[in-house]
Structure 1
Amino acid sequence: MANPIVVRSLDEIQFWSRIMKEHALFLSLGFTYEQQHLIAEAQQFINVFERIEEKLSRFSADTDIRQVQAFNNEVYQAAVAIWSYKRKVLGLTLRCEIRTNNFPLLVDHVSREAAYFANRLKELNEGKLAPQPDKIIQENLFFLKIMADHAKFIGHLLDPSERKLVDQANEFSHDFDQLVFQAVDLDTMRPQSETVPILDQFLDQNRVSVVSLRDFKKTARELIEACRIKSNIHPLLADHTFREAERFLEIIDLYEAHLIKAKQ
């Protein structure tokens, strides 16, 4: 039987390595011609994560856990390195030492995802797999903020003449901001395992909102790919945000399954 740590590790690396590679591409597209050094660094990270993806193809669910742990450590170092690069870019931007087409919130957003990825690899190498109630809230809080950010980016990157779509994106932004605040409130209450119904409701509510946003992203992606709406949104960015919404739904499924098991 496959080791669940191995299976989860390979799944995390498969998903997040592609995300990290795309982050490097999106940042590079936002730099100006004068910022060739930052573009070159971004390209280096594209190469790093492409090599990780190639190496990943040699692993399987039956791979020895020690080999996977060593690979986790290798990928962890790459995730930390790209996090450091993103934070450097954010610092340069906030100090007005560079001016780019990358929103500061977007740079912060992608750095949070790099930190999340690195932390997941660290936890897996520590043997931490089964979620705890407080972890459920924190994980959802992280992804709710990601979804709220996505809605804001979409709203700002759509052409202002796309009034209906801009309004929809702004509505999603507001809705997910409210879910973030609600998750923060619940986190401070620190519900324990005996309050599982509260967590059930929490996950159910998040699922409904994420499904709606996922469907909106899917429609937007299709319209962008068909050149049927006006925007500055790269087709790959549209697909990127769609995949992250899908990932959030998978994680909600994971936690719901854990809660069901805990009640048995």
Structure 2
Amino acid sequence: MSDGFVARSLEETSFWSRIMKEHSLFLGLGFRAEDTVLIKEANHFYRIFEDIERRVHSFSLDVDPVTIQQFNQEVHTAVCHIWAFKRKVLGLILSCKLPGQTNFPLLVDHVSREANYFRNRLEELNQGKLEPLYDAIIDENVFFLRIMADHAKFIGHLLDPSERKLVEQAREFSQDFDQLLFQARDIESMRPQSQTGPILNQFLDQNRVSVKSLRDFKKTARDLIDQCRIKSIIHPLLADHVFREAERFLEIIDMFENSLTGKGNNSMIHH
């Protein structure tokens, strides 16, 4: 196993197990009162990932890597199960078998994409795979730009329509990140010719500017919701949830830039 395997495994699982736990809560809140089986399943996953989150914080960095490899496999199994649950829910919604529930289909697809990302991460950590830096830069940005674009759309739809200025700002962010995603996919399709230092540096710089703006918008919205100063149906935890994911994307962009400029290394970059 590569250097940093334990630290990276614990860091990834700490972040994403909390995300999976919160997904369970949000999905459960969106079901109808009569959807007792689905609510029970969502609560079951909440408890599973709450326990994983608790356990991951009990490990120290000097733990035996084999123990963490086994833990990663256990977490991977749980993530596979919640991914299947999310896809089942999406199928029920799209076949009109849950009329009146309030989980957007795109939101359910969104949370299943994040589960798929997490399980792939666990697999590659355990297998000791290291994606080449230039490939990782493109793939991570394609993934996270779509996540950010989705967030902007969800915020715009969950704010009260009377919050016209904030709704318009969310719409503008949605359009901005859609364009950034299209650009990222163009760079992706131009591989390997597009994988030059100058092009990827500009790619990261441009994305950082927009992610910082969105992160700040999310922070403002979260604080206003906490203070009961705006009208919305956004759960306070959801507001913090999307803020944390923007923060993580910025950390990843900074890590990539440091690797490109020689200020760091890409030993922690897996995809």
Query: CA separation in 2, counterparts of 1:74 and 1:158?
Result: 38
Query: CA separation in 2, counterparts of 1:134 and 1:200?
Result: 13
Query: CA separation in 1, counterparts of 2:4 and 2:264?
Result: 21
Query: CA separation in 1, counterparts of 2:119 and 2:160?
Result: 35
Which amino acid counterpart does residue 148 of structure 1 have in structure 2?
A
- Deviation track 1:106-142 (CA, whole Å, cap 9, x = no partner) reads 0000000000000001111111246421221011000
Q: Does the CA contact (< 8 Å) of 1:3 and 1:62 recur in 2?
A: no
- Deviation track 1:216-239 (CA, whole Å, cap 9, x = no partner) reads 000000000000000000000000
Query: CA separation in 2, counterparts of 1:47 and 1:131?
Result: 36
Give the drift of 1:186: 0.3
Query: Does 2:57 match 1:45?
Result: no
Query: CA separation in 2, counterparts of 1:65 and 1:192?
Result: 38
- Deviation track 1:170-219 (CA, whole Å, cap 9, x = no partner) reads 00000000000000000011146971111010011110000000000000
Higher fraction of helix: 1
Query: Does 2:80 match 1:80?
Result: yes
Query: CA separation in 2, counterparts of 1:192 and 1:248?
Result: 25
Q: Does the CA contact (< 8 Å) of 2:93 and 2:105 recur in 1?
A: yes
Q: Does the CA contact (< 8 Å) of 1:203 and 1:256 recur in 2?
A: yes
Query: CA separation in 2, counterparts of 1:224 and 1:152?
Result: 17
Counterpart for residue 183 of structure 2: 182
Query: Does 2:100 match 1:96?
Result: no
- Deviation track 1:148-167 (CA, whole Å, cap 9, x = no partner) reads 00000000000000000000
Which amino acid counterpart does residue 55 of structure 1 have in structure 2?
R
Counterpart for residue 65 of structure 2: 65
Q: Which runs of 4+ in 1 moved over 4 A?
A: none
CA RMSD of aligned residues (A): 1.7
Which amino acid counterpart does residue 204 of structure 1 have in structure 2?
D
Q: Which has the higher contact order (CA 8 A, sep 6+)?
A: 2
Which amino acid counterpart does residue 69 of structure 2 have in structure 1?
Q
Query: CA separation in 1, counterparts of 2:24 and 2:262?
Result: 39
Query: CA separation in 2, counterparts of 1:263 and 1:71?
Result: 28
Q: Does the CA contact (< 8 Å) of 1:25 and 1:43 recur in 2?
A: yes
- Deviation track 1:48-76 (CA, whole Å, cap 9, x = no partner) reads 00111121122111111111111110101
Instruction: Specify whether residues 128 and 154 from structure 1 end up closer, same or farther in structure 2 by C-alpha distance, changes over 3 A only.
Output: same
Which amino acid counterpart does residue 123 of structure 1 have in structure 2?
E
Overall identity of the aligned pairs, in %: 67
TM-score (norm 2): 0.94
Structure-to-structure mapping, 1:128-143, within 5 angstroms: 128-129=129-130, 131-143=132-144
Counterpart for residue 217 of structure 1: 218
Which amino acid counterpart does residue 54 of structure 1 have in structure 2?
R
Gaps of 5+ in 2: 266-271
Instruction: Specify whether residues 90 and 227 from structure 1 end up closer, same or farther in structure 2 by C-alpha distance, changes over 3 A only.
Output: same
Query: CA separation in 2, counterparts of 1:5 and 1:91?
Result: 36
Gaps of 5+ in 1: none
Instruction: Specify whether residues 138 and 206 from structure 1 end up closer, same or farther in structure 2 by C-alpha distance, changes over 3 A only.
Output: same
Instruction: Specify whether residues 3 and 135 from structure 1 end up closer, same or farther in structure 2 by C-alpha distance, changes over 3 A only.
Output: closer
Counterpart for residue 156 of structure 2: 155
Query: CA separation in 2, counterparts of 1:136 and 1:60?
Result: 29
SS at match of 1:143: helix
Instruction: Specify whether residues 194 and 175 from structure 1 end up closer, same or farther in structure 2 by C-alpha distance, changes over 3 A only.
Output: closer
Query: CA separation in 2, counterparts of 1:261 and 1:79?
Result: 35
